[in-house]
Structure 1
Amino acid sequence: MKYLNLFKLQYMVILILGCLFISSCTEEDMTVGTVDEKIYEFHDELLGYLTDDQGKQLSSDVEFRLSGDLSLYLNLTKKTTSDCTVSVVYDENVLEEYNARNSSSYELLPRSQVILPEEAVLEVKAGEKKSSPFQISFVSNGELSVDNKYVVPLKINVTSGNLNLVQEENTWLIFVTDKTGMPDCNKASGFKIFSCMEVNDTNPLNNLSFTLKNSKKLLIDALIMFSGNMMYNRETGQVTMKYNGNVQALLDKYDHYLKPLQDRGMKVLMGIMPDHDGSGLCNLAPETCRDFALEIKAMCDAYNLDGIFLDEEYADYSIYDLYLTVPGFVRPAASACSRLAYEVHKLQPEKDIMIYAYSTIYSLPAIYVDGRTVQSGEYVTYAVRDYGIAGDMSYSFPGLPKSNMGLYSQEYTGKFIASKANLQWMVDGGYKTHMIFAMDPYRLNFEYQQLPSMQDIAKVFFDDELVYDGVKYPKDWE
């Protein structure tokens, strides 16, 4: 029996038995250390699948300066009595087929910049379930655009052993960004600071005023524009993006307000949240998720955004109950947001997807797509908790590495300011993502709350001293 048909049969059996636990299955991250093999245990055949050194499947995302590398592993669903090997080949056709299938236009990383081992095979020895690392290296030629993603397309073929590859596992895409010629915000400790900014009141350029004394790096790694909105158009039946006058003004003047941040290595993410019209991140049917993901891709492409920040507030589901009367909507559940994030990642695997772990999307369950279980770690890049809340997020976002979990988020209007002890707790626990909200040098508490807080961040997270240049950028748009 073919592998795909087996999955369909499994799915039918699950439906017949009424096992609705699928919507609350554990999730698996793009950076999972292990893969949930339960989805393969239904088969007697020996199956193989690849993971990278972060546990991701099907694709990887790599940024490097001058040179970089990535390790791949061959995994088996059970131990075998004989050696199993697969070959790895750079194959341009893999990218051509991907671009055609997804209406994308990614370019190849030239073969001359990709270094494969002389013996390009992954081997699992008899009695084992995982191969040794297979290292792929990349080198810069100094000519690639720092604004583009390039792709290393790999074809995987079984060369020995009674082994079948899991569906779609016969290709691998490595999305590569050559940052050699671009400034960056990356600090040695690995901490990432996200500035979620209320752009109705505050100029994003204020994020450029804070650097670290020793490293000379910007304190802030990414701006989150708070916020764009999703809107249900009752005339067309479509869910689209909309922006208030302040957000639209910044987008329209991207070169003035946003590009200077990216030129310094800072990422720019768009917040997406409901707007009191009954549509939300958690009530879109799969087909609506796919359509809205296309809308999000169009937004990111048009405004050169680096990702999105999903915030499930203000949907007013119970007032409208759209799923009762409108095709394309479902009863509100976190699994719908899982599907939306999955569809966004499928179209833009190189973009960051950050989840505000609050309300209905306090956690994201696994979903069943195209014959396999897809866990949240395959499409979520970061997840951050609400203000002042700590605690490991592995149960809510299984597979998400601690480094990408954001704890003790701070609210700079004064509602919650993290203490040094809070920040040190994150350091000791290996949590390396942190969000501040509503930083504004024109607010009255800037000198006695916001600035000291950022000084604490600089000291505890980076063992450095904050330098504030005193430059304040006013809101100067209409």
Structure 2
Amino acid sequence: MRRLINIKNGVVTLLSAAVIAGLAACEADPVETMRGNLPDDELLENTNVLIRSQYSSVERAVVRLTEGTGTTFDPIYCQLTRPAEKAVTVKAVSDESKVAEYNSTYGTEFLTMPATNVEIADNGQFSIPAGNKTSEKIKVTFKADGLTAGNYLAPISISSEEVAPSENGGTLFYAVKVRGLEVGDYELDTENTTVFYVNTSDYSPLLADVWVISKEDLMSPDMPTVWQKTYGNIVNLRTVQIGYDEATGRAQLILNSDIRYVLEHADLHIRPLQDKGRKVCLSIEGGNTGLGFCNLTDTQIADFVAQVKACLDLYELDGVNLFDRNAGYGQVEGMPAMNTTSYPKLIKAMREAMPDKLLTLADYEEPTEYFWDTEATGGIEVGKYLDYAWSGYMSENEDVQILDPWGVIDQDEGEMNGMVFPVNNHPRKPIAGLEQSQYGAFAVPFYSVSSSFNTEAIGTLNLWVWRMLGWSANNMLMFGDLITNIQGEYEGQWGAIIGMALTVFEPDGMDGTYMYGVYISHNPNGNVFDPNVPALYYGDYTKDW
């Protein structure tokens, strides 16, 4: 069974959303390109040809890379000023000679992108059939091998024996912006496995990149800092859904406009997290269509898994969190009933298709309550295909729930040490094939200031007793959707909730010897009010797109 590992170095950067829009999974909420029809040159006797990026209507385009071994690509095409009278062949090459001319003309200071770092598919050959104006698209790949951080220019020029390049369209100038790794000032904590959720409809994922925990020694007169670490080993991005296409009967991976924007701009919103060793995953849930993980056909499973894999590979994400909620089972006419084999088959197929990706599960309600029973699951031991599973109960409408699938909590001993029962309202059984050390038994919601679950803190104190009595099988610490500082009922709760949870979670947090403080180390890419203050102001890291 695999465990959480450090992320590989040299992650790749931004890949455009129009590529993933080509996946069947992303047909909903399409992102249109800006291209449109290009204007003809002045009417001349001869036909001319120009080269363009699919995502730019002019002779300039921008791509981004991360220094190291990162790669990215862009589709390019050629277009004639009028339909070809006969077949036309055009050749494209990386043209370093144009960089000095460009810098001189425009007063820029671009570095030269080595031609060896630019690969044009099909040997740079375009074909335009007679009667057509536009070629098929081919892919140009940019590689960061050997490059340091900086702005590079990668001109791509065209030539043809049949037609002349247009005056302003014979070269496509790519600005290749190479960013350095953002390792930050603090090491990522590896003694605990901390899990965050980020709803991209509200926040940038950078909100998960800024949490610093400081351990202070209160027994020494000078009260020294023992250590400072950043938290958030696994970051699950929402909202991603499983949808249903009535016309084709397909299960589809639905990326809403916010998560799609984040993926398109991964160099700003995702790569800084991965640079520090965080695993960034998609959290997939139901879309209220009546179709979910529990009523898929084998054909739908195979198709859906392929869509998920393509998305993760394209955007260099680290894994998937399956959270079967809001599917709308039994609420949509004509949709099949839930069964007990579909979800286990999906999990098995996910692992087999993506053995190198993190695969996690939120244990929540009916969709997972039978995972202990291999007869019900068709002989599949679900836990053998998972890296981790954890409690999906993170509602503000109930106290912190400590799930006890293995039955280790003794009520008499617990009450004698101050526990208040019941410690959970959701009886669960062990997931077959999953070790107890892989199971996160609780998740902490972000309660409002006046919530009784916050003021009385019974669930939080139960956590302390549970840990003190040795009933916790691991160091997994889960939180619900992260929040920033919000004026009103949630003011200050961004730090208070995490601070309290850590105080009761750490073995020495309640004995008066040490104090655990929560601080913010701002990410330079974030939209924040004051980057020099180690706290969150109102609205810090809210989405700015």
TM > 0.5: yes
Amino acid at match of 2:544: W
Q: Which has the higher contact order (CA 8 A, sep 6+)?
A: 1
Q: Deviations for 1:20-69, whole angstroms, at most 9, x for unmatched residues?
A: xxxxxxxxxx4xxxxxxxxxxxxxxxxxxxxxxxxxxxxx568479xxxx
Deviation at residue 403 of structure 1 after TM alignment: 2.9
Specify the alignment match of 1:193 in structure 2. 194
Amino acid at match of 2:331: I
Does the CA-based 8 Å contact 1:229-1:272 persist in structure 2? yes
Secondary structure of the 2:301 match is helix
* Cα RMSD, aligned residues only: 3.2
2:252 & 2:208 partners in 1: Cα distance? 29
1:306 & 1:185 partners in 2: Cα distance? 19
Pick closer, same or farther for the CA change 1:361–1:423 going to 2, 3 Å: farther
Pick closer, same or farther for the CA change 1:353–1:366 going to 2, 3 Å: farther
Deviation at residue 397 of structure 1 after TM alignment: 0.9
Specify the alignment match of 2:241 in structure 1. 229
Specify the alignment match of 1:8 in structure 2. none
1:64 & 1:233 partners in 2: Cα distance? 38
2:247 & 2:234 partners in 1: Cα distance? 36
Secondary structure of the 2:494 match is helix
Equivalent residue pairs, number: 300
Secondary structure of the 1:294 match is helix
Specify the alignment match of 2:38 in structure 1. none
Amino acid at match of 1:477: D
Secondary structure of the 2:479 match is strand
- Pair 1:408-2:442 in alignment: yes
- Pair 1:435-2:437 in alignment: no
Farther off after superposition, 288-297 or 444-453:
444-453
Amino acid at match of 2:196: S
Secondary structure of the 2:317 match is coil
Secondary structure of the 1:216 match is strand
Amino acid at match of 2:460: S
2:255 & 2:349 partners in 1: Cα distance? 22
Specify the alignment match of 2:542 in structure 1. 475
Structure number with higher helix proportion: 1
Q: Which among 355, 358, 367 is matched to residue 364 of structure 2?
A: 358
- Pair 1:459-2:493 in alignment: no
1:307 & 1:323 partners in 2: Cα distance? 29
Amino acid at match of 1:254: A
Specify the alignment match of 1:397 in structure 2. 431
1:63 & 1:311 partners in 2: Cα distance? 22
Does the CA-based 8 Å contact 1:338-1:367 persist in structure 2? no
Pick closer, same or farther for the CA change 1:311–1:450 going to 2, 3 Å: same
1:419 & 1:454 partners in 2: Cα distance? 11
Pick closer, same or farther for the CA change 1:422–1:389 going to 2, 3 Å: same
Amino acid at match of 2:315: Y
Pick closer, same or farther for the CA change 1:476–1:392 going to 2, 3 Å: closer
2:231 & 2:189 partners in 1: Cα distance? 9
Does the CA-based 8 Å contact 1:185-1:265 persist in structure 2? no
Does the CA-based 8 Å contact 1:366-1:374 persist in structure 2? no
Q: Deviations for 1:358-411, whole angstroms, at most 9, x for unmatched residues?
A: 12223325669xxx9431121122222213221333433134233322223122
1:245 & 1:64 partners in 2: Cα distance? 30
2:316 & 2:192 partners in 1: Cα distance? 24
Specify the alignment match of 2:160 in structure 1. none
Specify the alignment match of 1:16 in structure 2. none
Deviation at residue 270 of structure 1 after TM alignment: 0.8
Q: Deviations for 1:337-374, whole angstroms, at most 9, x for unmatched residues?
A: 11111100111122222222112223325669xxx943
Pick closer, same or farther for the CA change 1:423–1:200 going to 2, 3 Å: farther
- Pair 1:301-2:313 in alignment: yes
Q: Deviations for 1:427-475, whole angstroms, at most 9, x for unmatched residues?
A: 6222432221122123235554331221233334445543332255332
Pick closer, same or farther for the CA change 1:383–1:467 going to 2, 3 Å: same
1:392 & 1:447 partners in 2: Cα distance? 32
Pick closer, same or farther for the CA change 1:251–1:266 going to 2, 3 Å: same
TM-score w.r.t. the length of structure 1 is: 0.56
- Pair 1:381-2:372 in alignment: no
1:214-363 equivalence runs, <5 A? 214-320=226-332, 322=334, 331-363=337-369
TM-score w.r.t. the length of structure 2 is: 0.49
2:282 & 2:496 partners in 1: Cα distance? 27
Deviation at residue 262 of structure 1 after TM alignment: 0.8
Amino acid at match of 1:425: W
